[in-house]
Amino acid sequence: MAMTPTTVFRYFRGDETTRPQELIYGVVREPPAPFPYHQGVVTHLTSAMHVHVREHELGSVYVSPIDVVLDEARALVLQPDIIFIAATRREIVRDRVWGAPDLVVEVLSSATARRDRTEKLGWYRQYGVRECWLVDPTDECVDVVNCTMPDEGARFAGAQVIRSRVLPSFTPRAQDLFV
């Protein structure tokens, strides 16, 4: 028997949960909860980014689980680990985030790294995310990908200061993200 695809609105009518889940072209995907170290990196980076963004009134920082509707018609809803939305684009934040954040952060794990670096990065590029940080706790490095320019990005590790086009005044050292 064929499974009926879930629409965005049917997905939103489901029970509220703090478990990670995404809607991929009408199919609900529910990966297992992240490991504590992953969540420690997410929490540390979210805190630092939030303080910076708030001090400089740049916009808003949100942490997963938060639904980001990239394509309502095709039922594509993702939950990046961290997102930043510039103050000039706050209108995309309503009951959910309806559109591409300016900056998306994915903290990689052995189970998600390949998918985050390929499929999800492809969607972020396709739907208008300006920049994506791929944070690798295993190698303790951060790949900053300019999603508007094919193959443009940089890797930061150790004492290197992370450089972002979206948040140019936010300059943490790569090693400081790994707690």
Structural domains of the chain, ranges and CATH numbers in brackets: 34-65+78-177 (3.90.1570.10)
- pLDDT tens for 80-136 read 999 999 999 999 999 999 999 999 999 998 888 899 999 999 999 999 999 999 999
In this prediction, residue 74 carries a pLDDT of 92
SS3 of 61-129: EEECCCCEEEECCCCEEECCCEEEEEHHHHHHECCCEECCCCEEEEECCCCCHHHHHHHHHHHHHHCCC
Percentage of the chain beyond pLDDT 90 is 72
- pLDDT tens for 37-46 read 999 999 999 9
Answer whether 0.85 is exceeded by the pTM.
yes
